[in-house]
Amino acid sequence: MTKNPSNHPATTSLGIKPLSEREFAQFQKLIYGKAGIYLAPVKKALLEARLTRRIKQLGNKSFTEYLRRVVDDPEGAEMIQLLDRVATNETHFFREPRQFEFLEQQIFPRWAAQDAAGPRPRLIRVWSAGCSTGEEPYSIAMTLLDHFPPSAGWQVEILATDLSTRVLDSARKAVWPITKSVEIPHGYLKRFMLKGSGAQADNMKAGPEIFSVVRFERLNLNEEIDSIAGRFDLIFCRNVLIYFDAASRGRVIERLLNYLAPSGYFFLGHAETLNGVTERVRSVMPTVYIHCAGPQANLAAGAVRNLETSEAR
């Protein structure tokens, strides 16, 4: 009787031989080249778990056979399926609350003052890059529409993009478990969200006011962007850069900054930084940066530093 010399089972629970080191290295290279996402060696078991069921579903016999299927059609549907399974999506409403406070206390008053002085158009454009299942762009929509309503002549446009078609399908439906309602300020919840009834009693849905200002699009940040036009006042790219290595991270940041308006603001996740990555922005508070290209950048950065000094006292 032949024994399995390794500590791994001869097959996975679905009857497929476990992912070998050689196969993992091949997937690692493919995924990095296509999406810029670096899978560390510790991610091997995670990749195996996420791909096994798909391989079985397709009738493939091994990870090598599945890999060949993906490589033979690098722009096809199965590459999208692979990347869907690699992407990790975790989000909630009004994540990073200090950033929303910064919007309301610093950025919005400045925009209102610019509008009163005449030089600012009443159009606000925002890009939520790595939007996951939609909680982020809809949180931004609630905040913006509350302060800059269409009834006062303002227009809000929010572009929400993600690599994963799976989460985008969910985001476009704009339906979440009612348990997530605790993440939304009560006033916003009453104004902007709809509570389900009957079979949907355990769910809530984005109301038409915020639903109408958010547009979703699949986008690979590791590739050249040719489907987006114009500049954005705010770009949110939170908890996305942690999946890239230094080289990919630099390319993605430069690509995104090409779409940030002069004196526009760039938002990161709490574990991310642009220090040492680019000189095109200046930090105004932890995880928030201002585009240095505009004449208001130095004034804005100075105002925030004065505010933080006052708070410290």
> Do the beta carbons of residue 252 and residue 241 sit within 8 Å?
yes
pTM of the model: 0.83
Task: Please state the φ and ψ torsions of residue 306, each to the nearest 5 degrees.
Answer: -65, -40
SS3 assignment for 149-187: CHHHCCEEEEEEEECCHHHHHHHHHCEEEHHHHHHCCHH
Looking at 53, 86, 119, the residue that finishes a domain is 86
Write out the DSSP string of the chain.
Answer: -----SSS-SS-TTS-PPPPHHHHHHHHHHHHHHH-B---GGGHHHHHHHHHHHHHHHT-SSHHHHHHHHHTSTTSHHHHHHHHHH------TT-SHHHHHHIIIIIHHHHHHHHHHS-S-SEEEEEEES-TTTHHHHHHHHHHHHHS-GGGT-EEEEEEEES-HHHHHHHHHTEEEGGGGGGS-HHHHHHHEEE--GGGTTEEEE-HHHHTTEEEEE--TTS---S--S-EEEEE-TT-GGGB-HHHHHHHHHHHHTTEEEEEEEE--TT---TTT-SSEEEEETTEEEETTSTTHHHHHHHHHHHHHHHH-
Q: Give the CATH number of the domain where residue 48 resides.
A: 1.10.155.10
- Residue 1 resides in a domain: no
Burial code (b: 16+ CB inside 10 Å, e: under 16) for 234-273 equals bbbbbbbbebbeeebbbbbbeebbebbbebbbbbbbeebe
* 238 is a catalytic site residue: no
- Residue 213 resides in a domain: yes
Could you give the number of structural domains in the chain?
A: 2
- Residue 8 resides in a domain: no
Q: What is the pLDDT of residue 147?
A: 97
Place of tokens 């505010």: 307
Q: What is the pLDDT of residue 295?
A: 54
Q: What is the pLDDT of residue 52?
A: 92
Q: What is the pLDDT of residue 243?
A: 84
Looking at 64, 86, 108, the residue that finishes a domain is 86
Distance CA 239, CA 96 (A): 11
Q: What is the pLDDT of residue 6?
A: 46
Q: What is the pLDDT of residue 217?
A: 96
Task: Please state the φ and ψ torsions of residue 244, each to the nearest 5 degrees.
Answer: -105, 150
Task: Exactly one of 84, 95, 125, 162 is catalytic; name it.
Answer: 162
- Tell me the sheet residues that pair with 159: 127, 215
Residue 101 and residue 29 share a domain: no
Q: What is the pLDDT of residue 311?
A: 45
Residue 80 and residue 213 share a domain: no
Looking at 41, 66, 86, the residue that finishes a domain is 86
Residue 121 and residue 72 share a domain: no
- Residue 197 resides in a domain: yes
Task: Exactly one of 50, 191, 231, 255 is catalytic; name it.
Answer: 50
Residue 308 and residue 219 share a domain: yes
- Residue 107 resides in a domain: yes
Residue 214 and residue 133 share a domain: yes
Residue 165 and residue 51 share a domain: no
> Do the beta carbons of residue 225 and residue 161 sit within 8 Å?
no
Token reading at 213: 């200002």
Residue 150 and residue 41 share a domain: no
- Residue 204 resides in a domain: yes
Q: What is the pLDDT of residue 275?
A: 86
Q: Give the CATH number of the domain where residue 251 resides.
A: 3.40.50.150
Could you list the pLDDT tens digit for every one of the 313 residues in the chain? 444 444 555 555 557 889 999 999 999 999 998 888 888 899 999 999 989 989 988 888 899 999 999 998 777 889 888 988 887 777 899 999 999 999 999 999 999 999 999 888 999 999 999 999 999 999 999 999 999 999 999 999 999 999 999 899 999 999 999 999 999 999 999 999 999 999 999 999 999 999 999 999 999 998 888 889 899 999 999 988 888 888 889 999 999 999 999 999 999 998 899 988 899 999 999 999 999 865 555 554 454 444 444 444 4
Residue 261 and residue 123 share a domain: yes
- Residue 67 resides in a domain: yes
- Residue 306 resides in a domain: yes
Residue 245 and residue 106 share a domain: yes
> Do the beta carbons of residue 204 and residue 176 sit within 8 Å?
yes
* 245 is a catalytic site residue: no
Residue 65 and residue 194 share a domain: no
Non-local CB neighbours of 133 within 8 Å, separated by 6+ positions? 89, 91, 167, 170, 171, 176
Q: Give the dihedral sign, CA 34/36/37/40.
A: positive
Alpha carbon of 170 to those of 162, 173, 270: distances in Å?
12, 5, 25
Residue 209 and residue 75 share a domain: no
Q: What is the pLDDT of residue 16?
A: 82
In which domain, by residue range, is 111 found? 97-312
Q: What is the pLDDT of residue 309?
A: 41
Residue 304 and residue 268 share a domain: yes
